[in-house]
Amino acid sequence: MALAEEQHLENPLLAGLPLSRRPEPCALVIFGASGDLTKRKLFPALYSLAYRQLLPEKFAIVGVARTAETDDEFRERMKAAVQEFGRDDFRDDVWQGLADGMQYIGGDGNEDPVFDRVAETLTELDRERGTAGNRAYYLAVPPDAFETIVEGVGKRRSAEGWTRLIVEKPFGHDLASALELNDLVHRYFEESEIYRIDHYLGKETVQNMLALRFANGIFEPIWNRQFIDHIQITVAESIGIEGRASYYEKAGAIRDIFQNHLLQLVALTAMEPPIDFTSDSVRNEKVKVLKSMHTPGPKNVVRGQYGRGYVDGEEVPGYREEPGVDPNSMTETFVAGKLYVDNWRWADTPYYVRAGKRLARRETTIAIEFKRAPHPPFEELAAEGLRPNVLLINIQPDEGVSLAIGAKVPGQGLQIRTVHMDFLYGGAFRTDMPEAYERLVLDCMRGDSTLFTREDEVTEQWQLVDAIVATWRRDRPSFPNYAGGTWGPPSSDELLHRDGRTWRRH
């Protein structure tokens, strides 16, 4: 039982009071403090948390990166980042509270002196700002820098308080490297101290998936192979690789999106109800889904790479023309697959999934397509407009849930048309949606790992990806095979046509 809950039982005055979401005192160390993630996501998130008084009262941030910078320069740069990317009004008093506890350490992360300085600074902060030996290390760095940092930090663990390690994706580039990485971090850290971020899990709408399924009595009874025809999950981006060629060339769509975000969405859609919402209960159920997914045959996974095309009316270059990309690159920017979850609930119900860059629009959706009404008692003509019911979960944008049902077109005779029952987050709740990173950074500081990926999940995810990539070595598709601004290569449509189905119309 968590400490806060124990106190609740003892102290009668706490009855009915909300459990504080404020974490214990701690210091957050960000490796990769000069990077894009720190600027665009982490600091805006930290500011928003400070704005809502959700950060610990005693708190400090230590930025570490190669660039030489003074504490003040670091503060100024992050202030500008918060002003540019933050979602709240900029308030000087809030920022000052955050900036007072900020320090910067510049230097090559491959060298011991840097880690010594980090450790010394943290000890000083414990004294000056009362951070009590509690440390969260955020590794916002490329994977090749993981090892030295894990070692550098692991060898200098503080004797008091807790230590937590937040690791960004990708966690490895295949099963072998992921296992190696797990071994490495386990040399210095317990599994319970490792927080592998999949920022999709921090999104409100993804968590709403759990609310939708397990807080409503009407969905769960039909959430199975008997009533569901198939499921379509789309993670589409309209942007290209945005200057991340060196990373993307090695990763491709399968490691960038499929291995983590897409498989996590499958797991959340397919999982059995957890017995409670503690971190291990939820993750135990997710890992069962990942274990029961069988490897799709080579025909059931297709890939693509975008060529030139038009997005929002503007011409965009092909992938091979992007700066830093090999002109003969065989990296896929699109992947689609037919997956099966082999268990009692889902046997023979296909999960069609796709993810890609430079698609027609930005959209992440889970569409549950139900079986058709068995015998519509209407004339043939009338029933033409009758489509199966679809429960559509919009993860982003236009966050919400929509149910497609057939309705009679008013007038003589009986014509049926599909209409939508919509729930839009913005229309029902006026509270702004927190950014995923706010939720995740706060959860880590509070020691709640429910929304982080566990070791065995990562292993299962890589196993599936490795099997798919292995079959890809045998053939060489002619890339590029789809124009930017379209919905991917023809093979993706064929994947569904073969089964007499089509991708949802957008």
Partner 1 sequence: MTHIAWVPEEWVEAAEDVLAGLAERHPSRTIVLFPQSGTGGLEGEVSVESFTGGENRPVCTDTIRIRLHGTSAEHPGSVVEPLLIPDLPVFLRWRGVPGFGDSAFEELVDVVDRLIIDSTEWPDLPKPYADLATVFDRVAVSDIAWARTSRWRPMLASLWPSIANVSRIKVTGTLAQAHLLAGWLSSRLERSIELEHEHSDRLVGVELDGEPAPFPPGDSPLPADLLSDELDKLSRDPVYEAAVVAAVT
Q: Which of 261, 375, 497, 506 is catalytic?
A: 261
Minimal distance, residue 400 CB to partner 1, in Å: 10
Identify the bridge partners of residue 420 per DSSP, sorted by sequence position. 404
Out of 14, 184, 382, 386, name the contact with partner 1 by CB under 8 A. 14
| Span of 126-134, 334-342, 381-389, 423-431 interacting with partner 1 by CB under 8 A | 423-431
User: Measured from the CB atom, is 72 or 432 closer to partner 1?
Assistant: 432
Q: Distance between CA atoms of 497 and 501, rounded to whole angstroms? A: 5
**427 binding partner 1? (CB under 8 A):** yes
Which CB contacts under 8 angstroms, 24+ apart, belong to 491-499?
Answer: 491/302, 491/304, 491/336, 492/302, 492/304, 492/334, 492/336, 492/354, 494/302, 495/300, 495/302, 495/336, 495/337, 495/338, 495/352, 496/352, 499/230, 499/338, 499/350
Out of 73, 315, 432, 494, name the contact with partner 1 by CB under 8 A. 432
| Span of 219-227, 360-368, 409-417, 425-433 interacting with partner 1 by CB under 8 A | 425-433
**159 binding partner 1? (CB under 8 A):** no
List the one residue out of 232, 259, 244 whose CA is nearest residue 388: 232
Out of 3, 17, 159, 218, name the contact with partner 1 by CB under 8 A. 17
**16 binding partner 1? (CB under 8 A):** yes
The tokens 């975008």 sit on which residue? Answer: 306
User: Measured from the CB atom, is 93 or 380 closer to partner 1?
Assistant: 93
| 312 within 8 A of 264, measured Cβ to Cβ | no
Q: Distance between CA atoms of 331 and 153, rounded to whole angstroms? A: 34
Residue 170: is the preceding peptide bond cis (ω within 30°)? Answer: yes
Name which of residues 372 to 411 contact partner 1 (CB under 8 A): 397-398
Residues 6+ apart with CB under 8 A from 108: 66, 114
User: Measured from the CB atom, is 414 or 424 closer to partner 1?
Assistant: 424
User: Measured from the CB atom, is 168 or 204 closer to partner 1?
Assistant: 204
Name which of residues 29 to 88 contact partner 1 (CB under 8 A): 53, 57
Identify the bridge partners of residue 232 per DSSP, sorted by sequence position. 352, 367
* CA–centroid distance for 163 within its chain: 23
**What one-character DSSP code corresponds to residue 384?**
T
Taking each helix axis as running N to C, give the angle between helix 175-188 and helix 455-472, from 0 to 180 degrees, rounded to the nearest 10.
160
List the one residue out of 100, 365, 90, 103 whose CA is nearest residue 235: 365
Total length of the chain: 506
| 26 within 8 A of 130, measured Cβ to Cβ | no
User: Measured from the CB atom, is 16 or 323 closer to partner 1?
Assistant: 16
User: Measured from the CB atom, is 16 or 313 closer to partner 1?
Assistant: 16
Residue 357 vs residues 11, 131, 262, 374: alpha-carbon distances, Å: 54, 42, 14, 38
User: Measured from the CB atom, is 204 or 460 closer to partner 1?
Assistant: 204
Minimal distance, residue 427 CB to partner 1, in Å: 6
**11 binding partner 1? (CB under 8 A):** yes
**3 binding partner 1? (CB under 8 A):** no
| Span of 7-15, 192-200, 434-442, 457-465 interacting with partner 1 by CB under 8 A | 7-15
User: Measured from the CB atom, is 22 or 454 closer to partner 1?
Assistant: 22
Minimal distance, residue 43 CB to partner 1, in Å: 21
Minimal distance, residue 58 CB to partner 1, in Å: 13
| Span of 13-21, 105-113, 302-310, 470-478 interacting with partner 1 by CB under 8 A | 13-21
* CA–centroid distance for 263 within its chain: 10
Tokens of 101: 């506890």
User: Measured from the CB atom, is 193 or 399 closer to partner 1?
Assistant: 399
| Span of 10-18, 35-43, 60-68, 325-333 interacting with partner 1 by CB under 8 A | 10-18
Out of 2, 9, 20, 100, name the contact with partner 1 by CB under 8 A. 20
Minimal distance, residue 14 CB to partner 1, in Å: 5
CA Rg, the chain, in Å?
Answer: 24
Minimal distance, residue 57 CB to partner 1, in Å: 8
Q: What is the secondary structure of 417-432 as a DSSP string? A: EEEEEEEEHHHH--SP
Taking each helix axis as running N to C, give the angle between helix 71-85 and helix 92-99, from 0 to 180 degrees, rounded to the nearest 10.
140
Q: Distance between CA atoms of 135 and 160, rounded to whole angstroms? A: 10
| Span of 137-145, 192-200, 304-312, 430-438 interacting with partner 1 by CB under 8 A | 430-438
| Span of 158-166, 216-224, 378-386, 429-437 interacting with partner 1 by CB under 8 A | 429-437
**217 binding partner 1? (CB under 8 A):** no
Residues 6+ apart with CB under 8 A from 170: 143, 251, 255, 256, 259, 260
Tell me, yes or no, if 261 is annotated catalytic. yes
Minimal distance, residue 367 CB to partner 1, in Å: 21
Out of 220, 405, 426, 502, name the contact with partner 1 by CB under 8 A. 426
User: Measured from the CB atom, is 13 or 159 closer to partner 1?
Assistant: 13
- CB atoms under 10 Å from CB of 327, counted, come to 7
Residues with a catalytic annotation lie at: 261
Chain residues that interact with partner 1, rule: CB under 8 A: 10-17, 20, 53, 57, 397-398, 424, 426-428, 430, 432-433
